[in-house]
Amino acid sequence: MANPNRPSHSTNKPKLKKSVRYQNKGRKFSPSSDKTTDPLKSSLEEESDLIYGRHTVLAALSQRQLNRVWILPQLRYDPRFHSLLLQAKSKGTVIDEVEPRRLSQITEGANHQGVAAQVAPYSYLDLGELIDKAKFAAEQPVIVVCDGITDPHNLGAIIRTAEALGTQGVVIPQRRAVGVTSTVMKVAAGALETLPIARVVNLGRALEELKAAGFWIYGTIADSGKPLHKVELTGAIVLVVGSEGSGLSLQTQRGCDVLVSIPLQGKIPSLNASVAAAMVLYETYRQRWSDRLYLDTVPK
Protein backbone atom coordinates (compact mmCIF):
# COMPACT_ATOMS: atom_id res chain seq x y z
CA MET A 1 0.00 0.00 0.00
CA ALA A 2 1.16 3.53 -0.67
CA ASN A 3 2.17 5.65 2.28
CA PRO A 4 -0.91 7.79 3.16
CA ASN A 5 1.31 10.33 4.91
CA ARG A 6 3.32 11.11 1.81
CA PRO A 7 2.07 14.33 0.20
CA SER A 8 0.85 14.55 -3.35
CA HIS A 9 2.77 16.52 -5.96
CA SER A 10 0.38 19.40 -5.55
CA THR A 11 1.32 19.95 -1.88
CA ASN A 12 4.53 20.10 0.14
CA LYS A 13 6.75 19.01 -2.73
CA PRO A 14 10.41 18.94 -1.60
CA LYS A 15 12.33 21.93 -2.91
CA LEU A 16 15.58 21.31 -4.77
CA LYS A 17 18.30 23.90 -4.57
CA LYS A 18 19.32 25.22 -7.94
CA SER A 19 22.94 25.03 -6.88
CA VAL A 20 22.83 21.21 -6.70
CA ARG A 21 25.16 19.81 -9.35
CA TYR A 22 26.64 16.46 -10.13
CA GLN A 23 29.92 16.29 -8.26
CA ASN A 24 33.03 15.40 -10.24
CA LYS A 25 34.94 14.95 -7.01
CA GLY A 26 34.47 12.48 -4.17
CA ARG A 27 32.38 9.36 -4.45
CA LYS A 28 30.41 9.25 -7.66
CA PHE A 29 27.17 7.42 -8.24
CA SER A 30 28.18 6.60 -11.81
CA PRO A 31 31.80 6.50 -13.01
CA SER A 32 33.37 8.62 -15.69
CA SER A 33 35.56 5.60 -16.42
CA ASP A 34 32.67 3.55 -17.83
CA LYS A 35 32.84 2.86 -21.53
CA THR A 36 30.78 5.05 -23.83
CA THR A 37 29.51 4.24 -27.27
CA ASP A 38 29.90 6.07 -30.55
CA PRO A 39 26.36 7.34 -31.41
CA LEU A 40 26.85 6.49 -35.11
CA LYS A 41 27.93 2.96 -34.24
CA SER A 42 24.92 2.57 -31.93
CA SER A 43 22.59 3.80 -34.66
CA LEU A 44 23.99 1.35 -37.19
CA GLU A 45 23.83 -1.48 -34.66
CA GLU A 46 20.22 -0.63 -33.85
CA GLU A 47 19.34 -0.87 -37.54
CA SER A 48 21.11 -4.21 -37.97
CA ASP A 49 18.29 -6.05 -36.04
CA LEU A 50 20.64 -8.94 -35.24
CA ILE A 51 20.43 -10.83 -31.95
CA TYR A 52 22.41 -13.81 -30.77
CA GLY A 53 22.88 -16.10 -27.79
CA ARG A 54 20.69 -19.02 -26.73
CA HIS A 55 18.63 -17.33 -24.02
CA THR A 56 18.08 -14.17 -26.10
CA VAL A 57 16.98 -16.05 -29.23
CA LEU A 58 14.78 -18.44 -27.25
CA ALA A 59 12.97 -15.50 -25.68
CA ALA A 60 12.56 -13.85 -29.09
CA LEU A 61 11.23 -17.07 -30.64
CA SER A 62 8.54 -17.12 -27.97
CA GLN A 63 7.49 -13.49 -28.31
CA ARG A 64 8.54 -11.91 -31.61
CA GLN A 65 8.45 -12.41 -35.34
CA LEU A 66 11.86 -13.43 -36.70
CA ASN A 67 12.89 -13.02 -40.33
CA ARG A 68 15.75 -15.54 -40.24
CA VAL A 69 17.52 -17.82 -37.79
CA TRP A 70 21.07 -19.12 -38.19
CA ILE A 71 21.75 -22.13 -35.98
CA LEU A 72 24.27 -24.94 -35.59
CA PRO A 73 22.89 -28.33 -36.79
CA GLN A 74 23.37 -29.98 -33.39
CA LEU A 75 21.45 -27.20 -31.66
CA ARG A 76 18.51 -27.13 -34.07
CA TYR A 77 17.07 -30.37 -32.72
CA ASP A 78 17.72 -29.49 -29.09
CA PRO A 79 14.37 -29.84 -27.24
CA ARG A 80 14.56 -26.19 -26.14
CA PHE A 81 14.69 -25.00 -29.76
CA HIS A 82 13.07 -27.64 -31.95
CA SER A 83 9.35 -26.95 -31.41
CA LEU A 84 9.84 -23.18 -31.34
CA LEU A 85 11.76 -23.31 -34.62
CA LEU A 86 8.97 -25.36 -36.21
CA GLN A 87 6.43 -22.75 -35.10
CA ALA A 88 8.60 -19.91 -36.39
CA LYS A 89 9.08 -21.68 -39.74
CA SER A 90 5.31 -22.10 -40.10
CA LYS A 91 5.04 -18.29 -39.77
CA GLY A 92 7.57 -17.64 -42.51
CA THR A 93 10.87 -17.55 -40.65
CA VAL A 94 13.81 -18.87 -42.69
CA ILE A 95 15.86 -21.43 -40.72
CA ASP A 96 19.49 -21.80 -41.85
CA GLU A 97 21.76 -24.54 -40.52
CA VAL A 98 25.28 -23.16 -40.58
CA GLU A 99 28.76 -24.01 -39.38
CA PRO A 100 30.40 -22.22 -36.41
CA ARG A 101 32.65 -20.23 -38.75
CA ARG A 102 29.65 -18.77 -40.58
CA LEU A 103 27.96 -17.81 -37.32
CA SER A 104 31.13 -16.06 -36.20
CA GLN A 105 31.15 -14.10 -39.47
CA ILE A 106 27.50 -13.10 -39.06
CA THR A 107 27.97 -11.95 -35.46
CA GLU A 108 31.43 -10.45 -36.09
CA GLY A 109 33.12 -12.75 -33.61
CA ALA A 110 30.62 -12.28 -30.77
CA ASN A 111 29.77 -15.02 -28.28
CA HIS A 112 26.81 -16.36 -30.27
CA GLN A 113 26.46 -19.70 -28.39
CA GLY A 114 25.48 -21.45 -31.61
CA VAL A 115 22.52 -19.35 -32.70
CA ALA A 116 21.69 -15.92 -34.13
CA ALA A 117 18.54 -14.33 -35.55
CA GLN A 118 17.34 -11.35 -37.53
CA VAL A 119 14.33 -9.59 -36.01
CA ALA A 120 12.25 -6.56 -36.84
CA PRO A 121 13.49 -3.33 -35.19
CA TYR A 122 12.42 -3.00 -31.56
CA SER A 123 8.96 -1.49 -31.15
CA TYR A 124 8.93 1.13 -28.38
CA LEU A 125 5.80 2.00 -26.44
CA ASP A 126 4.36 5.48 -26.17
CA LEU A 127 4.97 6.88 -22.67
CA GLY A 128 1.25 7.18 -21.99
CA GLU A 129 0.74 3.54 -22.92
CA LEU A 130 3.65 2.50 -20.68
CA ILE A 131 2.14 4.43 -17.75
CA ASP A 132 -1.25 2.79 -18.29
CA LYS A 133 0.31 -0.69 -18.45
CA ALA A 134 2.40 -0.04 -15.32
CA LYS A 135 -0.58 1.15 -13.26
CA PHE A 136 -2.67 -1.80 -14.45
CA ALA A 137 0.09 -4.32 -13.64
CA ALA A 138 0.88 -3.21 -10.08
CA GLU A 139 -0.68 -1.34 -7.18
CA GLN A 140 2.68 0.36 -6.53
CA PRO A 141 4.34 0.47 -9.97
CA VAL A 142 8.03 1.19 -10.45
CA ILE A 143 9.45 2.71 -13.63
CA VAL A 144 13.14 3.24 -14.36
CA VAL A 145 14.22 6.31 -16.34
CA CYS A 146 17.70 6.35 -17.89
CA ASP A 147 19.18 9.82 -18.39
CA GLY A 148 21.72 9.53 -21.20
CA ILE A 149 23.05 5.97 -20.82
CA THR A 150 25.37 5.49 -23.81
CA ASP A 151 26.90 2.06 -23.13
CA PRO A 152 24.64 -0.75 -24.43
CA HIS A 153 26.06 -3.11 -21.81
CA ASN A 154 24.93 -0.78 -19.04
CA LEU A 155 21.45 -0.34 -20.55
CA GLY A 156 21.07 -4.09 -21.08
CA ALA A 157 22.13 -4.79 -17.49
CA ILE A 158 19.72 -2.18 -16.12
CA ILE A 159 16.85 -3.68 -18.15
CA ARG A 160 17.70 -7.19 -16.99
CA THR A 161 17.82 -6.16 -13.31
CA ALA A 162 14.66 -4.06 -13.64
CA GLU A 163 12.72 -7.02 -15.04
CA ALA A 164 14.14 -9.44 -12.46
CA LEU A 165 13.05 -7.20 -9.57
CA GLY A 166 9.53 -6.68 -10.82
CA THR A 167 9.78 -3.24 -12.40
CA GLN A 168 6.92 -2.29 -14.73
CA GLY A 169 8.88 -0.45 -17.43
CA VAL A 170 11.90 1.56 -18.56
CA VAL A 171 12.06 4.99 -20.22
CA ILE A 172 15.02 6.12 -22.35
CA PRO A 173 15.65 9.38 -24.22
CA GLN A 174 15.83 9.47 -28.00
CA ARG A 175 18.92 11.69 -28.20
CA ARG A 176 22.43 11.31 -26.82
CA ALA A 177 21.67 7.82 -25.51
CA VAL A 178 21.83 4.26 -26.74
CA GLY A 179 18.61 2.61 -27.91
CA VAL A 180 17.65 -1.06 -27.90
CA THR A 181 20.47 -2.58 -29.94
CA SER A 182 21.44 -6.21 -30.48
CA THR A 183 24.03 -5.82 -27.70
CA VAL A 184 21.36 -4.49 -25.33
CA MET A 185 19.15 -7.47 -26.22
CA LYS A 186 22.00 -9.90 -25.59
CA VAL A 187 22.90 -8.41 -22.19
CA ALA A 188 19.24 -8.14 -21.18
CA ALA A 189 19.03 -11.93 -21.69
CA GLY A 190 15.36 -12.06 -22.72
CA ALA A 191 14.06 -9.36 -20.34
CA LEU A 192 13.01 -7.19 -23.29
CA GLU A 193 10.38 -9.72 -24.29
CA THR A 194 8.38 -9.00 -21.11
CA LEU A 195 9.56 -5.55 -19.89
CA PRO A 196 8.17 -2.64 -21.98
CA ILE A 197 10.42 0.24 -23.03
CA ALA A 198 9.30 3.76 -23.95
CA ARG A 199 11.53 6.18 -25.86
CA VAL A 200 10.87 9.90 -25.43
CA VAL A 201 12.05 13.04 -27.22
CA ASN A 202 12.11 15.28 -24.14
CA LEU A 203 13.03 13.71 -20.80
CA GLY A 204 11.92 16.75 -18.79
CA ARG A 205 8.43 16.62 -20.25
CA ALA A 206 8.35 12.86 -19.67
CA LEU A 207 9.04 13.38 -15.95
CA GLU A 208 6.25 15.96 -15.78
CA GLU A 209 3.88 13.48 -17.44
CA LEU A 210 4.87 10.81 -14.92
CA LYS A 211 4.25 13.24 -12.05
CA ALA A 212 0.84 14.11 -13.44
CA ALA A 213 0.06 10.38 -13.46
CA GLY A 214 0.83 10.19 -9.72
CA PHE A 215 4.43 8.97 -9.73
CA TRP A 216 7.01 10.25 -7.23
CA ILE A 217 10.39 10.94 -8.90
CA TYR A 218 13.64 9.82 -7.22
CA GLY A 219 16.89 10.92 -8.91
CA THR A 220 20.21 9.22 -8.17
CA ILE A 221 23.22 11.51 -7.72
CA ALA A 222 26.75 11.36 -6.30
CA ASP A 223 27.05 12.43 -2.68
CA SER A 224 24.71 15.36 -2.04
CA GLY A 225 21.44 13.44 -1.97
CA LYS A 226 19.55 11.77 0.84
CA PRO A 227 21.18 8.43 1.86
CA LEU A 228 19.43 5.56 0.10
CA HIS A 229 18.73 3.60 3.28
CA LYS A 230 16.84 6.59 4.74
CA VAL A 231 14.49 7.00 1.77
CA GLU A 232 11.00 5.48 1.82
CA LEU A 233 10.49 3.98 -1.63
CA THR A 234 6.78 3.23 -1.54
CA GLY A 235 3.84 4.05 -3.76
CA ALA A 236 4.07 4.68 -7.50
CA ILE A 237 7.67 5.72 -8.09
CA VAL A 238 10.18 6.54 -10.82
CA LEU A 239 13.91 5.86 -10.33
CA VAL A 240 16.09 8.08 -12.52
CA VAL A 241 19.62 6.83 -13.27
CA GLY A 242 22.25 9.20 -14.68
CA SER A 243 24.71 8.76 -17.51
CA GLU A 244 28.05 7.00 -17.12
CA GLY A 245 30.19 10.11 -17.32
CA SER A 246 28.28 13.01 -15.78
CA GLY A 247 25.36 11.55 -13.88
CA LEU A 248 22.01 13.33 -13.94
CA SER A 249 21.84 16.57 -15.89
CA LEU A 250 20.97 19.66 -13.87
CA GLN A 251 17.67 19.94 -15.72
CA THR A 252 16.78 16.36 -14.82
CA GLN A 253 17.75 16.95 -11.18
CA ARG A 254 15.32 19.87 -11.04
CA GLY A 255 12.59 17.58 -12.35
CA CYS A 256 13.03 15.15 -9.45
CA ASP A 257 11.12 15.22 -6.16
CA VAL A 258 13.93 13.66 -4.13
CA LEU A 259 17.65 13.22 -4.84
CA VAL A 260 19.19 10.00 -3.52
CA SER A 261 22.81 8.93 -2.98
CA ILE A 262 24.48 5.61 -2.14
CA PRO A 263 26.96 6.04 0.74
CA LEU A 264 30.33 4.40 -0.05
CA GLN A 265 33.06 3.51 2.43
CA GLY A 266 35.85 1.94 0.36
CA LYS A 267 38.69 3.52 -1.58
CA ILE A 268 37.03 3.01 -4.96
CA PRO A 269 35.39 6.40 -5.64
CA SER A 270 32.68 5.33 -8.07
CA LEU A 271 30.03 2.81 -9.07
CA ASN A 272 29.13 1.50 -12.50
CA ALA A 273 25.81 2.97 -13.67
CA SER A 274 24.11 -0.41 -13.94
CA VAL A 275 25.45 -1.53 -10.54
CA ALA A 276 24.17 1.66 -8.90
CA ALA A 277 20.78 1.17 -10.57
CA ALA A 278 20.68 -2.41 -9.30
CA MET A 279 21.35 -1.28 -5.73
CA VAL A 280 18.51 1.25 -5.80
CA LEU A 281 16.15 -1.25 -7.43
CA TYR A 282 16.96 -3.88 -4.84
CA GLU A 283 16.42 -1.45 -1.96
CA THR A 284 13.03 -0.63 -3.48
CA TYR A 285 12.22 -4.33 -3.75
CA ARG A 286 13.54 -5.03 -0.22
CA GLN A 287 11.32 -2.39 1.38
CA ARG A 288 8.22 -3.70 -0.35
CA TRP A 289 9.11 -7.34 0.28
CA SER A 290 9.62 -6.58 4.00
CA ASP A 291 6.19 -4.93 4.14
CA ARG A 292 4.57 -7.96 2.53
CA LEU A 293 6.42 -10.32 4.89
CA TYR A 294 5.18 -8.35 7.89
CA LEU A 295 1.59 -8.36 6.64
CA ASP A 296 1.77 -12.10 5.96
CA THR A 297 2.89 -12.82 9.54
CA VAL A 298 0.36 -10.60 11.35
CA PRO A 299 -2.26 -12.79 13.14
CA LYS A 300 -5.71 -12.55 11.60
**pLDDT bracket for residue 4 (50, 70, 90):** low
- Give 21 or 56, the one with higher predicted confidence: 56
Cα dihedral value 18, 23, 29, 33, nearest 10: 140
DSSP state of 119: E
Write the pLDDT tens digit of every residue in 225-283: 899 999 999 999 999 998 877 788 889 999 999 999 888 887 776 688 899 999 999 99
Specify which of 41-45, 183-187, 264-268, 280-284 reaches the highest per-range mean pLDDT.
280-284
Write the pLDDT tens digit of every residue in 93-131: 899 999 999 999 998 888 899 999 988 778 899 999 999
As a whole number of angstroms, the distance between CA 156 and CA 189 comes to 8
As a whole number of angstroms, the distance between CA 105 and CA 58 comes to 21
As a whole number of angstroms, the distance between CA 240 and CA 221 comes to 9
**pLDDT bracket for residue 185 (50, 70, 90):** confident
User: 115-119 and 66-71: which strand pairing?
Assistant: antiparallel
Q: Which of the residue ranges 17-26, 32-41, 110-119, 178-187 would you say has the lowest mean pLDDT? A: 17-26
Cα dihedral value 70, 73, 78, 81, nearest 10: 20
pLDDT for 52 beyond 70 = yes
Q: Which of the residue ranges 10-19, 54-63, 72-81 would you say has the lowest mean pLDDT? A: 10-19
Q: Which of the residue ranges 16-25, 167-176, 203-212 would you say has the lowest mean pLDDT? A: 16-25
Q: What is the pLDDT of residue 62?
A: 82
Write the pLDDT tens digit of every residue in 119-167: 877 889 999 999 999 999 999 999 999 998 999 999 999 999 999 999 9
The phi, psi pair for 261, rounded to 5°, reads -130, 155
Q: What is the pLDDT of residue 11?
A: 43
pLDDT for 31 beyond 80 = no
pLDDT for 293 beyond 60 = no
